[in-house]
Amino acid sequence: MQKNTKKLRVLIALSIIPGFGCRRVFNLIKQVDDPEKIFSLSKRELRAVEGIGEASALSLLAFDEWDRVDEIITQTEKNGSEIITLADPEYPSLLKQIYDPPVLFWLKGSPEALSKPGIAVVGTRNTSPYGRKMAKKLTGELADEGLCIFSGLAYGIDAIAHRTALEQEAATVAVLGSGIDNLYPQKNADLANQIVKSGGAVITEFPLGTNPDAGNFPVRNRIVSGMSLGVLVVESGIKGGSMITADLGLDQNREVFAIPHPLGSPSGTGCNYLIKRGAAKLVQTVDDILDELPVQQSGDSANEPVQAKPDWREFELDELSVSICELLEKKAFQVDELAEEVAVGTSQLLVKLLQLEMDELVLQKAGKVFELK
């Protein structure tokens, strides 16, 4: 049985209210200290939440499909999967930072895999020998560094990335464009089972029974990039899901990387285009990726001299800068979370963080995550 069934029922109900949408639910959860109280709110209280207008408030107040909610929970248990919601501690923090995080998703496997530091490895289904070689090489080296490999279980580059991670005994997460009981492509069902058994996970935001319709895949790609520290495009034409994932990664402030391809190679024109317009960093070796990610490289030499870190207390800082440093001393913060903690606007905070970066006191990581240097 799911943990905290009452809270789960509320989140499922919110997810099936027509036209309510991920963003409205996200704002609602942020506004209310206990999600279980949401259906007890008055229309006036609902209207006070950002993005909830008269129609949305009335839709919530009129909701009366609790039998359908309970049936979803029952069918999920029969399927052997579980539901992770925005209100659960297992929900990956990086995914919460995107504009429209899914209200909930179905999962088979280990919830812990979702929050491991990792990178999305994506590419075309119609691979070339060069693309297959580079996918296997770089995915293997990234897995050796302890990174989780996120991808979409599709034929081609996706499947190579998942299989290589399994071979390296690294965590890997597959994001579906269909219901978790309607796995697609079916020929990769054995691969999905291996991912689950290995301690990885297979997830989807699409309800049980959902078919793999073409429109689902661009939607799911925001989750692939959203859970990742960066997106590596191995091989892609100018159009396709991999290019959509790269654009989504840029929108989500993720690092984007691309492997260069020989001129005249149709399956690599997308990668070259991303590099040409400065949307992706050119990758020649795995270090080109690792240098941009907030992860410790296993190859770092223990014999290198350690430089003394500057102590922010030795600087003459204003009150806001002191508050920022005191918070970052405890842990790293994403900029929106930090803005809430210090109670200032994001734009004002970014100016102050830039000053602290210039003083070499603060370091910015992928996804606008800041930490003390």
Q: What is the pLDDT of residue 297?
A: 66
- Cα(233)–Cα(166) distance, rounded to whole angstroms? 20
Of the candidates 48, 7, 43, 54, the residue with the CA atom closest to the CA atom of residue 28: 48
Average pLDDT of the residues of the chain: 91
Tell me the residue length of the chain: 373
- Domains of the chain as residue ranges with CATH: 1-78 (1.10.150), 111-290 (3.40.50.450), 312-372 (1.10.10.10)
8 A C-beta contact, residue 308 and residue 314: no
> Across the beta sheet with 333-334, what order do the strands follow?
333-334, 369-372, 362-365
What pLDDT does 301 receive? 38
* E strand segments, the chain: 82-85, 104-109, 118-123, 148-151, 172-175, 201-204, 230-235, 255-258, 281-282, 333-334, 362-365, 369-372
> In the prediction, which pLDDT does 34 show?
86
Check residue 50 and give its pLDDT: 85
Q: Identify the CA nearest to 205 among candidates 22, 4, 6.
A: 22
Q: Write down the pLDDT at residue 74.
A: 96
Name the stretches of the chain with pLDDT < 70: 1-4, 296-310
pLDDT of residue 299: 53
